[in-house]
Amino acid sequence: MDTIAKQSKDIQLQLLSMDKENRKLSSKLQPSDLRIRQTQQVTLTKSFMDTMNKYRDIQTKYQRKYKERMEKQYLVVNPNTTENEIARLLESGELGQVFAQELIEKSSKSTEAKAALQEVQERHQEIVKIEQTVLELQQLFIDMQVLVKNQGEIINQIEYQVVAANENTEKGVEELKEAVVYQVI
């Protein structure tokens, strides 16, 4: 999770830097170049925000389901627990520890408790896989951002070459006109 926070902060700083650079270059670039750069920056910013909103929604949904599952499993092991006590244990982060202790104490008496422990372990493995997938998606997003940035630079170079070729062609036409005038004289 810390990695995602760090990467998202880095991306945010890159987007801000891109915006500042666009503003700085606004008087130096051709209007078409500036529009391309601004469009890329806006598109990347929107994509980043959409991705982070999806990530936040997934994380919130996961946390809610995880809490619900932990409550149900804890109630299987300790059915006399009140909702207030479960809420307190969830907030303090002690529910997992208390659950494990209760489960160990009652495991010899109850096959349900053993099944609950097995389910908790399986869910934990699923959670680890989900976290890994989210990290991979984040890396993919960053890689795509780099590709889009590189493509933007290539487009800028192509446009620069086209403008230079156009200018050279215009100069060539002028020189040909002058040559024709000198040939006639």
| pLDDT tens, position by position, 57-104 | 888 888 788 878 877 877 777 778 788 887 777 777 666 677 677 666
For residue 48, is pLDDT > 70?
A: yes
Q: Find, among 39, 59, 51, the residue nearest to 12 by Cα.
A: 51
Angle 133-135-73 (CA atoms, 0-180°, nearest 5)?
55
What Cα–Cα distance (Å) separates residue 92 from each residue in 71, 85, 86, 123? 14, 11, 10, 20
Percent of the chain topping pLDDT 90: 5
* Residue 109 φ/ψ, nearest 5 degrees: -100, -20
pTM of the model: 0.51
Kindly list the domain boundaries of the chain, sorted by start residue: 2-145
Count of H-run helices and E-run strands, the chain: 5, 0
| pLDDT tens, position by position, 147-172 | 677 677 777 777 888 888 889 999 99
Helices (H), 78-110: 83-92, 95-106
